[in-house]
Amino acid sequence: MPGGVSSPVRAFRAVGGTPVVIAAGAGARVTDIDGREYWDYVQAWGPLIVGHAHPEVVRAVTNAARQGLGFGAPTPAEVELARLIVEALPSVARVRFVTSGTEAVMSALRLARAVTGRPLIVKFDGCYHGHADALLARAGSGLLTLGLPASPGVPAEVAALTVTLPFNDAESVRALFEARGEAAAVAIVEPVAGNMGVVPPAPGFLEELRERTSATASLLIFDEVITGFRLGWSGAQGRYGITPDLTCLGKIIGGGLPAAAYGGRADLMAQVAPEGPVYQAGTLSGHPLAMRAGAETLRLLRRPGAYERLEALGAALEAGLRDAAARRGLPLTINRVGSMLTPFFSPGPITDSPSAQRADTRAYARFFHEMLARGVLIPPSQFEAWFLSLAHDEVAVEETVRAADAALAQV
């Protein structure tokens, strides 16, 4: 197994040391194979918003497993989850399930290129949308120049069809769409960035993107793989009042099991095979156990007060970390939206990838290990989001802040 892991970030390369190997999770805590317990802010990178091994989710999945482990056929569970998603997201009239966020984004981009007949993809520096070739492209020398491969194995011809703009830069959006809007199939954005660390949209940024894509008959994709059902029942699009043409979902909708989806306008989704000509398929798409885990998770999130609770826990953790850093006289900039946050080791402000990149990653690495030693597992990278769940409580936050206060003294 390259790096000894199934996904690079788990290898602790950004913070050094040997990755912890997790044996079990329960609520807001995980236990490693040596029996050490941690408050968990990785939360499997976002899906476990109701906590690890929630009894109602485990019971539902166990019962479903007794009925079989997949059929490659329509099942009631996928219809149930589809209905919940369509109910929650007014912009999503129809939805197709796939197995990973990468697959959701890859499929949505193919659909956008098919329905517009255009080749160009616009993405934003610091946003991550999975590892499809078209999205492993980085900005060329100038804003309007061709993209360059961001990984070996991505042909230059493919990267050249992806333009990367600065996140939160409405002026670059206006300039790009003025110059090349007629060739743009789609713009894709994390409406709240989570993959450069948490960076909220600047006022007017998402609005400019919506206006420019509409004005040039390009499509707008919101990649809500992280923010979907994280930032509210209607995700970031509900929180910021922007209606995308297509939305990509993942993580929370599978409740920790492999499930993702893309969906949106009925006229666009009608182009997806077998109804339309745009081909996309998947052996494990709509897997009944993942559908069941997702439906139970969303049902728990739909209960009154769930998002208020997540907001209160996020605010308490942010305040505690901020106070601890102030006591130590350390420059910590905390970006938070709801129950996702990132403390940057930087005076800030952190509003885009260049400013995020200026954070002191060595300080973060030392902080990471000091926290680990005190029983708190935070993401092993400065450029990821910490997640709170409904299983976290005031005790978890107090113990985390106490650990951070001691850890910061060692940074």
Interface ranges with ligand KE4 (CB under 6 A): 7, 9, 45, 100-102, 105, 128-130, 190, 194-195, 223, 225-226, 250, 260, 384
Buried b or exposed e, range 363-399, using 16+ CB within 10 angstroms: bbbbbbbbbbebebbbbbbbbbbbbbbbbbeeebbee
Q: Please tell me which residue in 41, 123, 125, 128 is annotated as part of the active site.
A: 128
Nearer to ligand KE4 among residue 106 and residue 184 (C-beta) = 106
**Count of other CB atoms within 10 angstroms of residue 279:** 11
Q: Check 40, 125, 169, 223 and give the catalytic one.
A: 223
To the query of whether residue 128 is one of the catalytic residues in this protein, the response is yes
Query: Rounded to an integer, what distance in angstroms lies between the CA atom of residue 226 and that of residue 224?
Result: 5
* Amino acid symbol at 52: H
Is-contact 235 251, C-beta < 8 A?
A: no
To ligand KE4, the closest distance from the beta carbon of 257 in angstroms equals 12
Looking at beta carbons only, is 4 or 55 nearer to ligand KE4? 4
Q: From the CB of 409, what's the least distance to ligand KE4, in Å?
A: 29
Q: Which of 99, 107, 104 is nearest to 287 (CA)?
A: 99
Catalytic, out of 38, 40, 240, 251: 251
Joined together, the tokens standing for residue 227 give: 């923010």
Cβ closest to ligand KE4, residue 325 vs residue 386: 386
Minimum distance of ligand KE4 from residue 47's CB (angstroms): 9
Please give the order of strands across the beta sheet that includes 386-387. Answer: 332-337, 340-345, 386-387
Is 123 tagged catalytic?
no
- Minimum CB distance to ligand KE4, residue 68 (Å): 24
User: Whose structure tokens read 């040391």?
Assistant: 17
* 136 vs 133: CA distance, rounded Å: 5
Which CB atom, from 17 or from 331, has the smaller least distance to ligand KE4?
A: 17
Residue 157, classed as helix, strand or coil, is helix
Q: Compute the least distance from the CB of residue 1 to ligand KE4, in Å.
A: 14
Q: Which C-beta is closer to ligand KE4: that of 98 or that of 403?
A: 98
DSSP class per residue in 165-208? E-TT-HHHHHHHHHHHGGGEEEEEE-SSB-BTB-BPPPTTHHHH
Which residues form the catalytic set? 128, 223, 251
